[in-house]
Amino acid sequence: MANRDSLTELNATIKHADSYQEYKEACQEHDELSGAEEWKAKDACKEYDYRLIRKRVQRIKLARSRGDALGLMSILHEGIHGNLGNIANSAIKNHSKIGTKYLIQEFIDQVCESLDFIYHADESEIDFYEKLSFFDETAHAFGKSCLMLSGGAGLGFFHGGVVKSLTEHDLLPDVVSGASAGSIIASLIATRTNEELKEALEPQNIYEKFSNWRIWQGFGRNSLMDSTNLENALIELFDLMTFEEAFHKTGRHVTVTVSPSDLHQYSRLLNAKTSPNAIITQAVRASCAIPLVFSPVQLKAKQADGKIVPYIPNRRFADGSLMADMPFKQLARLYGVNHSIVSQTNPLAVPFLSRDKTDTRGMTALTWRHLSNIAKLNSIYAFDVLEGVTSHKGAKLGLHKLRSIIDQQYVGDINILPKRGFASLKHIFANPSLRSIEKLIASAERATWPQIDRIKRDTQISKTFSKYLKLLKAREQRVLTQHNGLRLVGSTKSA
């Protein structure tokens, strides 16, 4: 009885913790008391292939004990990936409040220590370019994580708390996308260093910029709301910075999604790769252009001489969440991501989403998943039929947008969501108060805490790959620069 009362008290502490440290300590104490620590210590578990992982750990340890860097490269080359033996199975998380099987954590730690060993290996055994090739190829094969920030109008300030928490724990991915309201926070990530980002995400600073983002201007115009204040806030935040300039400043691959305002066009992902000279301010303004609420926008670009010109002339773009709220497939193609962290505030999606991708093997879960897929396919078919028989251009465009909303995937591998209920919905089209922003960001940080340990574990190997690959490429660049400089000096002397 006393044990049960203690667990109840710990659950209350976990729910109402004022800091991540308090939350973490309560979770650890809960695991000790509930027996979860004993579960973690036992390798065997039906949710993952513990024999495979145990064997891999033994092989890695043996190679390291022999100082065999080439052997380690071979072991890691064999097919290491983020879900080897199903170690990323979300069902494993259900057995404890924090942490995972000790064997799984040992495997991850051994891989990271092996990467450290290979990087520092004597170059008489493994030369520089062998190391560079190994890290480049294996990192690409392993993949990386991305953060996707959804639409959600005023509720989108929730993303600020998520990003703040990830930044404080050094877990912010280098690949980020933002749609609609999410594009504002994504662009702050693109254009700010970590310290600048933390400052920009302070509730007072957000309030000063967006306290009056919604100005009603009534019917009979090209939009229900005047976008002047929103545009001024975006100009103040991002000025005329392009995606390429932002990448050179922070090294982050940040994408803003926009949707076409006419038929026969597809959503566009604007970033340093696809549209380096596009101006971020206009991209964000377009992505925030909720149909009827704000007018669509023509994108702008900066030429080499600094002149501002139209980007994709004769086209206007609108709300990015309509067609590409979660552009995972496109990000996978552009940046090699295979793991996603989603901050989801889209009011069309949040009420129906689970916090995690779950293993739906039970009969009831399988049935519901099957029925929902049938409903989705039937809805898409119905909209295709209606669009085909509709001749009115505006109605056809509206049907096309509705179809794209239904056809999207709104979840990732890890999902961070605001609390369900009307209390969250009130933020959507309201001008915020300082208090409401403080509460929204605090609730987002609290919603992120249960995922911190898992994100750290899921990204530990890819972050280690990234760390050493950056060091090797920087060294290669220095060697090439030095070599070209010597060659230039030699040419001058010859002349």
Contact in structure between 357 and 413 (CB atoms under 8 Å): yes
* Unique residue bearing structure tokens 């392993």: 142
Q: How many residues does the chain have?
A: 495
Confirm whether pTM is higher than 0.75.
Answer: yes
- Tell me phi and psi for residue 485, to 5 degrees: -65, -45
Q: Which of 96, 114, 165, 180 is catalytic?
A: 180
pLDDT at residue 246 greater than cutoff 90: yes
- Tell me phi and psi for residue 347, to 5 degrees: -65, -20
3-state helix, strand, coil in the chain (%, to 5): 60, 10, 30
CA–CA separation, 130 and 342 (whole Å): 36
Confidence band (pLDDT; 50, 70, 90) for 485?
low
Contact in structure between 197 and 189 (CB atoms under 8 Å): yes
**CA atoms within 13 A of residue 98's CA, in its CB half-sphere:** 21
pLDDT at residue 478 greater than cutoff 70: yes
DSSP calls for 331-357:
HHHHH-EEEEEEE---TTTGGG--SB-
Secondary element (H or E) of residue 192: none
Is 183 catalytic? The answer is: no
- Tell me phi and psi for residue 242, to 5 degrees: -95, 170
Q: What is the average per-residue pLDDT within 101-124?
A: 96
Q: How many CB atoms lie within 10 A of CB 129?
A: 11
Q: Which of 319, 325, 453, 458 is catalytic?
A: 319
Which pLDDT score, from 0 to 100, does residue 253 have?
A: 97
| CATH superfamily membership of 144-353+410-452 | Cytosolic phospholipase A2 catalytic domain (3.40.1090.10)
pLDDT at residue 265 greater than cutoff 90: no
Is 433 catalytic? The answer is: no
Contact in structure between 177 and 257 (CB atoms under 8 Å): yes
Helix (H, G, I), strand (E, B) or coil at 95: coil
**CA 160 to centroid of chain Cα atoms:** 13
Which pLDDT score, from 0 to 100, does residue 107 have?
A: 95
Which pLDDT score, from 0 to 100, does residue 399 have?
A: 52
Contact in structure between 165 and 452 (CB atoms under 8 Å): yes
pLDDT digits (tens, 9 = 90+) for 23-78: 999 999 999 999 999 999 999 999 999 999 999 999 999 999 999 999 999 999 88
* Unique residue bearing structure tokens 């060993």: 117
Angle at 159 between CA 156 and CA 163, to 5 degrees: 160
Confidence band (pLDDT; 50, 70, 90) for 359?
very low
Which pLDDT score, from 0 to 100, does residue 481 have?
A: 81
Q: Where are the domains of the chain?
A: 35-142, 144-353+410-452
| 30, two tokens | 């809960």
**CA 159 to centroid of chain Cα atoms:** 11
Confidence band (pLDDT; 50, 70, 90) for 385?
confident
pLDDT at residue 403 greater than cutoff 80: no
Query: What's 420's DSSP letter?
Result: P
Residues of the chain above pLDDT 90, percent? 59
Residues of the chain above pLDDT 70, percent? 78
Which pLDDT score, from 0 to 100, does residue 294 have?
A: 80
| 306, two tokens | 């600094």
CA–CA separation, 133 and 227 (whole Å): 50
Handedness of CA 359, 365, 368, 371 (dihedral sign): positive
pLDDT at residue 119 greater than cutoff 90: yes
pLDDT at residue 112 greater than cutoff 90: yes
Would you give the end-to-end CA distance of the chain in angstroms? 92
